[in-house]
């Protein structure tokens, strides 16, 4: 059952206080974060924080305190230079507590910060440059801003705010599930690295592996040239390890004569009877069996 987030008019009835009027992605996402921390959450949206508020009430994106960033000079930046907004400030303080029961909480925390919260913080602080291209991607922050009532709408800002929060909660929950799956994948990849031989890493199932292979502290990871895993289309894939994360180069390339071939043509060139295809760019290919995929990788290593 989802936690209930509700708006109250009186700050004395609220567990959290933020600014009223037009809302932005940072305090909307911050509200989601607080609901993960507090459970059912009452929020007061106001234009001025009343005096005498209980210290247990969290005040964010207003008032110039610990969870605001509108004060002169802002409220700090990450080591990579991205400044904090209210979302990032709350995630920095409470994020690890929220994900403490997940596998590898530090990695889960990092993925959510990197893939969602940093971008919101950067945009809210006016630090996100536009792409040098005529078309521009619609950002999460722009989508959230689109929930604000239009000038000719009769919808109340508070009602629109709650809709935006519910949307943001779906996005957050989806990313949390993804982050947890990646933490589990890292564990699988690390175990496979530890048992790998002959520059070929074999996975019993497909998991996202590139980031965790390329950033592994295990010295054996540096020597892995190919990864073999079950294909989602059936059979088994072999794939070249890239020379860098996100790069298009390869630690070891397959022979030029393999590229773009499939079926009998590929089998004739490689000598592997169940080889099925090799991509035109040569970075990935397949065989019908695990033994065949490993054999192709072994041949490529020796070429």
* Token code pair at residue 182: 């990646």
Q: Tell me what pLDDT residue 201 has.
A: 97
Query: Are residues 163 and 211 located together in one domain of the fold?
Result: no
Query: Are residues 243 and 99 located together in one domain of the fold?
Result: no
Please give the average pLDDT of every successive group of 10 residues along the chain, which has 303 residues: 89 95 98 96 95 93 96 96 98 98 95 98 95 94 98 96 98 98 95 91 95 94 96 95 90 96 96 96 96 96 91
Q: Tell me what pLDDT residue 248 has.
A: 85
Domain count, the chain: 2
Of 181, 206, 240, the residue at which a domain comes to its end is 181
Residue 41 counted as domain residue: yes
Q: Tell me what pLDDT residue 1 has.
A: 66
C-beta neighbour count of 50 within 10 angstroms: 11
Q: Tell me what pLDDT residue 2 has.
A: 78
Can you tell me the distance from the alpha carbon of 153 to that of 230, in angstroms, rounded to the nearest whole number? 53
Query: Are residues 266 and 213 located together in one domain of the fold?
Result: yes
Residue 99 counted as domain residue: yes
Of 181, 215, 245, the residue at which a domain comes to its end is 181
Query: Are residues 59 and 135 located together in one domain of the fold?
Result: yes
Query: Are residues 133 and 219 located together in one domain of the fold?
Result: no
Tell me the pTM.
0.85
Residue 96 counted as domain residue: yes
- Supply the DSSP string of the chain, one letter for each residue: -PPPEEE-S-GGG-SEEEE-SS--HHHHHHHHHHHHHHSSEEEEEESSPPTT--TTSEEBSSTTSTB---STTTT-B-TTSPBP-HHHHHHHHHHHHHTTTSSSHHHHHHHHIIIIIHHHHHHHTT--PPPSSSS-PPPHHHHHHTTSPPTT----HHHHHHHHHHHHHHHHHHHHHHHHHHHHHHHHHHHHHHH-BTTEEE-SS----HHHHHT---GGGGG--EEEEE-TTSSEEEEEPBSSTT-S-BSSPPPGGGTT-BHHHHHHHH--TTEEEE-TTSSEEEESSHHHHHHHHHHHHH-
Residue 156 counted as domain residue: yes
Query: Are residues 119 and 256 located together in one domain of the fold?
Result: no
Residue 56 counted as domain residue: yes
Can you tell me the distance from the alpha carbon of 53 to that of 41, in angstroms, rounded to the nearest whole number? 17
Domain that holds residue 12: 5-181
Q: Tell me what pLDDT residue 245 has.
A: 87
Query: Are residues 72 and 46 located together in one domain of the fold?
Result: yes
**CA 227 vs CA 45, 208, 210, 233, 264: distances in Å:** 52, 11, 9, 17, 23
Query: Are residues 63 and 160 located together in one domain of the fold?
Result: yes
Query: Are residues 172 and 215 located together in one domain of the fold?
Result: no
Query: Are residues 109 and 243 located together in one domain of the fold?
Result: no
The β-bridge relationship of strands 16-19 and 41-46 is parallel
């Amino acid at each position: 059952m989802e936690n209930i987030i509700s708006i109250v008019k009186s700050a004395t009835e609220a567990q959290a206080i933020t600014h009223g009027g037009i809302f932005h992605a940072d305090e909307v996402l911050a509200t989601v974060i607080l609901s993960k921390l507090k459970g059912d959450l009452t929020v007061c949206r106001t234009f001025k924080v009343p005096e005498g508020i209980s210290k247990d009430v969290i005040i964010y994106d207003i008032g110039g305190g610990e969870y605001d960033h509108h004060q002169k000079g802002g409220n700090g930046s990450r080591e990579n230079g991205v400044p904090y907004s209210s979302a990032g400030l709350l995630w920095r303080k409470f994020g690890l507590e929220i994900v403490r029961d997940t596998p590898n909480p530090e990695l889960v925390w990092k993925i959510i910060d990197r893939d969602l919260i940093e971008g919101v913080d950067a945009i809210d602080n006016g630090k996100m440059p536009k792409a040098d291209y005529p078309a521009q991607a619609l950002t999460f922050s722009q989508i959230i801003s689109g929930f604000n009532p239009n000038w000719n709408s009769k919808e109340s800002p508070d009602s629109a705010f709650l809709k935006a929060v519910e949307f943001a909660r779906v996005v957050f929950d989806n990313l949390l599930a993804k982050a947890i799956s990646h933490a589990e994948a890292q564990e699988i990849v690390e175990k496979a690295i530890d048992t790998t031989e002959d520059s070929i890493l074999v996975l019993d199932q497909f998991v996202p592996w590139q980031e965790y292979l390329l950033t592994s502290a295990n010295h054996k990871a540096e020597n892995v040239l190919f990864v073999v895993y079950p294909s989602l289309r059936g059979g088994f894939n072999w794939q070249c390890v890239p020379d860098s994360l996100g790069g298009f180069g390869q630690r070891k390339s397959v022979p030029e004569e393999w590229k773009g071939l499939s079926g009998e043509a590929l089998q004739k060139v490689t000598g592997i009877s169940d080889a099925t295809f090799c991509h035109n760019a040569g970075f990935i290919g397949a065989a019908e069996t695990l033994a065949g995929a490993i054999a192709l990788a072994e041949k490529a290593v020796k070429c």
